[in-house]
Amino acid sequence: MDYWTEAVAFTTSNNSFGPTEISYLENRFCNMAKEAKRYFVKNSNDPSPGNITEEKESELEEFIVYAKLVMGALGYKIFEPLVVRKQQIEATEKTDEQPLLFFKTQKADASGKRTSEGFVVMTGSTISLTTTKSCPENILKFREKFAEKIDDQGKLTEDLLFPSPSAAAGFVGGSSLSGNIMWKDESGKSLKDIEATE
């Protein structure tokens, strides 16, 4: 295998899961990973949820919650989306403390958000299709890495995570840019000014 370097295995103390339960779990975990959109899911099988009883489904869903908890504690965020959408916030009755930020130039129009992991540029953002001669090497590498997630018009087809606001700004603008200055809230207040008041 040339597309993964680590593996995490879950089992039960009495080896109680048979083919039906395993098929259900594979279906759920596979779909959860696809929905989170953090990684490419290269599963040659199309897992079936199988035909299980409501009681067994409840038991397996408990197992899934436990597995997600352990995975998160180990530092693997395979099943967690990069950003929490408004609908998810409303569903869980939580508030999103981080404001939506915007990057607008003649060639780019993007939105993004700070997270505990870095800075996420949101789906639907339009990036500059050209880069400057002085564009930093790390920005060019991000362009290459995420090439499949940029359509012909420069629009992002998925949320993308960057280590910093400046890396995100450079990716969007195609040059060396300060994220603290380029990213602004709805009122035009820069990230630098927002952080100064926090």
User: Does 162 fall in a domain?
Assistant: yes
According to the 3-state scheme, what is the secondary structure of the chain? CCCCCCCCCCCCCCCCCCHHHHHHHHHHHHHHHHHHCCCCCCCCCCCCCCCCCHHHHHHHHHHHHHHHHHHHHCCCCCCCCCCCCHHHHHHHCCCCCCCCEEEECCCCEEEEEEECCEEEECCCCECCCCCCCCCCHHHHHHHHHCHHHECCCCEECCCEEECCHHHHHHHHHCCCCCHHHHCECCCCCEHHHHHHCC
Domain stops at, among 12, 46, 80:
80
In a shared domain, residues 48 and 121: no
In a shared domain, residues 66 and 154: no
Q: How many domains does one find in the chain?
A: 2
Domain stops at, among 58, 80, 102:
80
The residue type at 34: K
The 10s digit of each residue's pLDDT in 152-175 is: 999 999 999 999 999 999 999 999
Please, which residues have CB within 8 angstroms of residue 42's CB and are 6 or more apart in sequence?
A: 3
The 10s digit of each residue's pLDDT in 9-23 is: 888 877 778 888 888
User: Does 6 fall in a domain?
Assistant: yes
In a shared domain, residues 184 and 97: yes
In a shared domain, residues 71 and 114: no
Domain stops at, among 22, 51, 80:
80
User: Does 164 fall in a domain?
Assistant: yes
Range of the domain at 35: 1-80
In a shared domain, residues 61 and 26: yes
Per-residue pLDDT for the chain (198 aa), expressed as one digit of tens each? 566 778 888 888 777 788 888 888 888 888 888 888 777 777 776 777 778 887 788 888 888 888 888 887 788 888 887 776 544 434 333 445 688 999 999 999 999 999 878 899 999 999 999 999 999 999 999 999 999 999 999 999 999 999 999 999 999 999 999 999 999 999 999 999 988 887
User: Does 46 fall in a domain?
Assistant: yes
User: Does 86 fall in a domain?
Assistant: no
In a shared domain, residues 61 and 99: no
User: Does 182 fall in a domain?
Assistant: yes
In a shared domain, residues 28 and 69: yes
In a shared domain, residues 53 and 148: no
Spacing of C-alpha 160 from chain mean position: 6
